[in-house]
Amino acid sequence: MRRLAMTAAATTIAAGAAAGTIDLDGNYGNAAGCSYTATNLASSDDLLLLTPKGVSTYATECEFVAQSVSADETRMVRATCTHEGETGTTARTIRIEKAPDQVDAYLILDEDGTMWGKVGQCS
């Protein structure tokens, strides 16, 4: 039992730096997402942007609330999301994991594994 508790503690780390943020070295996005950080204009429907505070698409904006991080650095992030044309918010769990083929890239997925997309570091 003690071993199980120590293993769980080693593989899951509670949200660290500040509540509502994740540890990222800058912003990550696809071409439209990185363009948005520079111009504040959504140039394409495929916009995908990951920041330390949240993730955004063309029609959805999610603000991080809490996270857990596994030993392989996969983050399960609870978020509160707003959606274009709708009132109110929804709660969602988002999975953020390192892209296996690139050092400075992440995959963003729903809790069930549905892929939102891949993002690279914005310059």
Percent of the chain exceeding pLDDT 70 equals 85
Count Cβ atoms below 10 Å from residue 29 Cβ, excluding itself: 22
Which pLDDT band holds residue 4 (cuts at 50, 70, 90)? Answer: very low
How much is the mean pLDDT over the chain?
A: 84
Q: How far apart are CA 4 and CA 104, in angstroms?
A: 33
Domain containing 113: what range? Answer: 2-121
The model's pLDDT over 44-92, given as tens digits with 9 standing for 90+, comes to: 899 999 999 999 999 999 999 999 999 888 999 999 999 999 999 999 9
Q: How far apart are CA 43 and CA 112, in angstroms?
A: 29
User: What mean pLDDT comes out for the span 92-102?
Assistant: 91
3 state DSSP class of 54: strand
User: What mean pLDDT comes out for the span 34-43?
Assistant: 89
- pLDDT for 14: 42
Which pLDDT band holds residue 19 (cuts at 50, 70, 90)? Answer: low
Residue 7's contacts (CB-CB under 8 Å, 6 or more residues apart) are none
**How much is the pTM?**
0.81
Tokens representing 17?
A: 């730096």
Q: How far apart are CA 65 and CA 18, in angstroms?
A: 10
How many domains would you assign to the chain?
1
